[in-house]
Amino acid sequence: MAVEVTASLCVFLGCFMAFSSALVTTSCDIFQQDLPGLDGALHTSCPSLPTIGSGLLARCTNVNHLEIALKEVPRNVETLCFIGLSVKNISEGIFLGLDNLTALYLQGSFFVWGGAFRELISLRYLVIMGGWNIYNYVKLDNGVFQGLEALTHLKLDKVFIDVTIQPNVFKPLKALQAAFFFQNEIHRLYFLTRTLASLTALEILVVNRNGILATREGDCIESQTPSQPMGFSPVISTLDLTSNGLHKVEYGSLCNFKHLKVFKVDATFLKVEELLQSGIEEVEALSLNAMKNIDYISMLNVCKVVEHLKVRNLTAAQNFIGQIDPKSLEGCSGLLSLNLSDNILRSFSGHLVQKLPSIMFLLLSHNKIKTLDLCQSGSGSVLLRNLIHLDLSLNRITDLGTQQLSCVPALLSLDLSSNHIVDLKNSAFLGLDRLEVLNLESNGLFILENFYFEHLPTLKVLGLKGNQLKNHNQSFNVLTQLEELSLSFEDMGTFYAPHPHLTKLQLEGYNIETGCLQNCSTMKKVEIKAPLVHISTCKSSPFVSVMELHLEDNHEVICLPLGTTDCYTKGLRSFPNVQRVLYSSSAELPLTKVSSPLKDTLSYLPNLRHLHLINLRKDFENGFLIPDLLFHNLTSLSSLILEDSGIEHFSSSIFSDLSSLELLIIKSQEMKTLQEGLFDGMDRLKYLYLTDVHLDCSCDQAWISGWLATHTKVRSPKTNAINCSLGSLKMNWLNFLEKHCSPQYQYYLFIGTFSFHAIFILAALLYHKVRLYLRYLLHMLRTWWNYRGRRDGRQCYDFDAFVSYSSHDECWVVNEFLPNLEEQGPPFFKVCLHGRDFELGKDILDNIVDSIYRSRRTICLVSHHFLRSHWCSMEMRMATYRLIAERENTLIIVFLEKISTRRLSRYHQMARLVKKKTYLEWTEDVQEQPLFWARLRKAIGEDEVQEVVDE
């Protein structure tokens, strides 16, 4: 009965919690990591964590109760992050049950207990980050990483580690491949490396902003020392000591990092030449960015280090390098890549590049270079046979002369964006027969001559945005392999796409006319940013192959049939097979506008799957669009994003045709009316996000919280972030609903019914708990009533003794007990046995109580089986109640077996009685048994009254 009552209570309370949580918000947003159609509208990643697989990601912010928040997280989540975690402790085993968790991010200020990550058998990425305040550090308990045998990547940022008293803290991480330490108050590299010495899988070690001022000789862990019997086991390939204030590298101090693929000492005070005797023998990629003491950055010393350490890739950006002596680069002749970006170089001529005969990647962006003279030197022309990538963006180059790049025949990618180029000389690209990517964006070009690109037969990607072109003539006709093209027009521009391989087209301007003169069958993506777009040759469906269309800052798209201007159709119909559309309206609409490109067009796109609409407010305000008709017949649409769409009143029929919709995002939106039943037609809806929305404070919207509570398969937003307005007053939407949208009679009815059920269930539980006492009290009252007239204190009993025993001891009772008491005498005693004298059909408990009170004495035959028996325990308890109540010697205890005091102490009631009362012990000695029976017969038959002390 107890189980049934408890179950009923749990069910009732569960219903109550479900009812009351209809207005309770979640702390976490749940996403599918490969969720299509987002277009960057939501943050679906965790900081410092990669996108892993396609499973569920939970992103929780401002969590005050970790246990409650974890209840909202699905058990099969793969990536979990807590941002702004306001808890004091992360307790042991708190993440139990998350067997699929592969990545975990924790940010806040807390203490992590040992075993907190126990049984996270799939966890591979763990990031623990302290609070935003520099003093809000995270602290770790010993054994905190127990159970993380599969962990491969660990990042600790503002996590205090005292490796002097926690030398084995990382020892369980046998599979660790990459360790990142940021602001951990580690001032000696040795303190860290000795705790990692046994991790044979470790390859990447990053120690940033830890105040390491020097690497000491003692930082080198020799093999098989008494303190490190295994030496330093990891074979580190990447060592990053960025932003440590490093001033000194002592002799041999980095001996444990002999062969490095990557070595970074950015933003330090290091004297580069000290690396020559550091103990490092080989470095593939060396990074010396933003060195603090620029007096020590000499390219001569740098190249000495490059030569000594066999460096193949060198980065020395942000170092105020203004001039380089060609002789200083002699030690850098073996470099494959050189990055000198963000310096103050004014030139990089052939005198320098001829010292780099093996160079493949040369990055010189964000300098002050005015003239491009890579191919010229005082001794004649230069030939760079291996250079495949050249970055000269963000410089001050004004023009490209003839054959200025003829010395780099292997060049595949050339970036000249954000310069001041206004003209390209004839044959400027002569010799670049293998060039595939050319970026000329954000320059001063305004006319493209026909000969500009005639020497680029293999060009696939051409970027010309930000150039305010007036005319491009026939300059693209020679680019027969072109796949991606971006253009910006000053005002009006005309572009036709005759290229058989063109897959992506980007156009910007005010009034753009575009179309296909020949084959456009490979075009997959079109992005146009222009208020006016005119598409020609509509009769031939010019963009039938386009799958993705972006129209930004637009208010008119029309399609003109070839050779006429008096008949046109809506331009979006020129993209009949498009699957993804992003459309944003112009900020300013002309007075002549009478319609919207979206009106009566979306329904003609039968393959449309993803739709993203931005800034349509003025289209709705002026009546160019009608909300209830906008999404008509879009039965195949799977994702819809409305960002500042301007729809203020959402009727129940607006989404009625979106039967295939799985994702709905409403963002940056003023929403006055959300009619009940708004989401009823979307049976496949999985994700509903209301981000940065503002509602009217009205009880008509209260149905939303109930809908979210009952549709548990729909991933819903953190509704506690939604605000509403009541006149000029702004408040939290949920707070408004709780205060103003619960009618008083419903509230009182709920409180009344809840109270009734609670009292009923508690009464049932209470009865189960005290029913023995109640039955005993009832029997006492009945006995008092029957004998109230008697003054002599004597009572009539049916039995001399009631015998309480275990069924396992029944043979002893039948063979020894009964013959000695009932068959030998005088006197002949009459005893009550439950198996012989209980009244048939009567409740067992009532039989026990009646038999005890119909007997002068109660004899408890105590054995090990007796102590374990539930019914024997109950009979003992009732006999004890009688003993205490009547204060007469009514209870006789007989031990049939030897029972140790330690074992008896487990049964508190029996132990107390044994301490206060004398008892009999059965003996197997035949000679002593007559004395046993004599004493027992005397105890049953004696009439004197003995006071019993009630404890």
User: Do 408 and 453 reside in the same domain of the chain?
Assistant: yes
User: Do 315 and 350 reside in the same domain of the chain?
Assistant: no
Q: Are 802 and 859 in contact (CB under 8 A)?
A: yes
On whether residue 417 sits in a domain, the answer given is yes
Count of domains in the chain? 4
| 345-399 per-position pLDDT tens digit | 999 988 898 899 999 999 999 999 998 888 876 555 678 889 999 999 999 999 8
pLDDT of 782: 61
pLDDT of 826: 82
Give the domain-ending residue among 464, 497, 525. 464
| 57-85 per-position pLDDT tens digit | 999 988 999 998 998 898 999 999 999 99
User: Do 266 and 299 reside in the same domain of the chain?
Assistant: yes
pLDDT of 498: 67
Give the domain-ending residue among 444, 464, 484. 464
Please give the C-alpha separations between residue 909 and each of 873, 878, 914, in angstroms, as whole numbers: 9, 12, 9
Report the sign of the C-alpha dihedral through residues 444, 450, 455, 459, in that order: positive
- Point out the residues of the chain with pLDDT beneath 50: 1-25, 563, 745, 787-792, 944-951
| This model's pTM is above 0.85 | no
User: Do 30 and 166 reside in the same domain of the chain?
Assistant: yes
User: Do 32 and 163 reside in the same domain of the chain?
Assistant: yes
On whether residue 178 sits in a domain, the answer given is no
User: Do 375 and 247 reside in the same domain of the chain?
Assistant: no
On whether residue 533 sits in a domain, the answer given is no
On whether residue 198 sits in a domain, the answer given is yes
User: Do 828 and 933 reside in the same domain of the chain?
Assistant: yes
809: domain range?
799-941
User: Do 284 and 393 reside in the same domain of the chain?
Assistant: no
Give the domain-ending residue among 445, 464, 483. 464
DSSP for 714-727?
SB---GGG-EEEET
User: Do 55 and 138 reside in the same domain of the chain?
Assistant: yes
Please give the C-alpha separations between residue 935 and each of 449, 614, 799, 801, in angstroms, as whole numbers: 129, 100, 19, 15
On whether residue 121 sits in a domain, the answer given is yes
On whether residue 286 sits in a domain, the answer given is yes
- CATH of residue 127's domain is 3.80.10
User: Do 60 and 120 reside in the same domain of the chain?
Assistant: yes
On whether residue 790 sits in a domain, the answer given is no
pLDDT of 947: 37
- CATH of residue 812's domain is 3.40.50.10140
pLDDT of 515: 73
Range 652-665 burial, b when 16+ CB lie within 10 A, else e: ebbbbbbebbbbbb
Smallest Cα–Cα separation from 837: which of 879, 862, 872, 802? Answer: 802
On whether residue 357 sits in a domain, the answer given is yes
User: Do 195 and 98 reside in the same domain of the chain?
Assistant: no
Q: For the chain, report the end-to-end CA distance as a whole number of angstroms.
A: 31
- CA gap 441, 417 in Å, rounded: 5
- CATH of residue 352's domain is 3.80.10.10
User: Do 32 and 164 reside in the same domain of the chain?
Assistant: yes
Angle in degrees, 0-180, between the axes of helices 744-786 and 2-20, rounded to the nearest 10? 160
Identity (one letter) of the amino acid at 355? Answer: K
